Amino acid sequence: MFGWGRREQSTDTGTIDMLRQELARLGERLEAAESRRDAQLELTRRELAESHETSRKLLKALGRSSLRIEQIEAMVSALGKEANPVDVAPAAAGDIERLLDALDQLDRAVASAAERSLGDLVGGLTGVRDRLDMYTVSLGLTRHRTVGVEVDGALFRVVGTATAEGAAPGAIVEIVRSAVTEGRRLVREGEVIVARENYEDKGQ
C-alpha cells in the first residue's frame, strides 16, 4: 500500500490531488499485476506438482515393468530361442499381459500430457513408451492401436460407439485396449470405440 509522507503535504492542493489520483491508478495497476502474477505462479506450481506426481507414478510403474521385463527375459531365456513365451509359460504370459496393460496406460499418459501441453513430459513419456514397445517387438508381438481405420472384429471388440465428425461409420475413434498379435495369432483381443452409423446420429 502507498501512503503520503509529511513533506508532500506542503505542496498546493491541485497538484496534490492530481498526484494522489495518479498514484492511486498506479497502485491499482500494480495490485492487478501482482494478482495476475500470483495466479500464474499458483497455476505453474500446481502444474509442476501434478507433473511431478504423474512422473513419480509413471516412474514407479516403469520400475515395476522393468522388473517384470527382467523376469520375462529370464523365463524366455530359460525356454530357449524356439520357445513361444505366450503359449508355453502361463506365468510369462501373465507378465506380458501386465506389460501390455502398462503400455496402454503410457499411451494415455502421453495423451493426457499432450492435452495439457506439457511438452517435456510428452517427449519423455513417448521415449519410454517406444522403448518398451521395441521390447514387445523383440518378443515377436505387434500392438495394434491405429485409430481412423475400419474396425476388424477378429482383432477388436467394440465396447461403445460415439459420434465423430468426419469419421466413417465403423471407424475406430478410440482405443480402449490395444490388440496384440504374434504373427497371425491373436495374443490379446483389443477393445475400441467406433464411430456411430449416421442414422443413429439422427436419433433413430
Q: Which residues here bind another protein, judged by CB under 8 A?
A: 50, 54, 57, 61, 105, 108-109, 112, 115-116, 151, 153-154, 156-162, 170, 174, 176-177, 185-186, 189, 191, 193-194
End-to-end CA distance of the chain: 65
Cβ atoms 128, 55 nearer than 8 A = no
Between 29 and 185, name the residue whose CB sits nearer to another protein.
Answer: 185
Angle subtended by helix axes 90-115 and 13-79, to nearest 10? 160
Smallest distance, Å, CB 27 to another protein?
33
Smallest distance, Å, CB 71 to another protein?
19
Between 153 and 203, name the residue whose CB sits nearer to another protein.
Answer: 153
Smallest distance, Å, CB 140 to another protein?
17
Distance from the Cα of residue 84 to its chain's centroid: 32
Smallest distance, Å, CB 124 to another protein?
16
Of 197, 148, 157, 152, which Cα lies nearest the Cα of 176? 157
Pair type for strands 190-195 and 185-188: unpaired
- Please name the helix (run of DSSP H) or strand (run of DSSP E) that holds residue 183, with its range, or none: none
Between 50 and 133, name the residue whose CB sits nearer to another protein.
Answer: 50
SS3 88: helix
CA dist 97 and 145 (Å) reads 16
Smallest distance, Å, CB 108 to another protein?
4
Between 69 and 113, name the residue whose CB sits nearer to another protein.
Answer: 113
Between 5 and 153, name the residue whose CB sits nearer to another protein.
Answer: 153
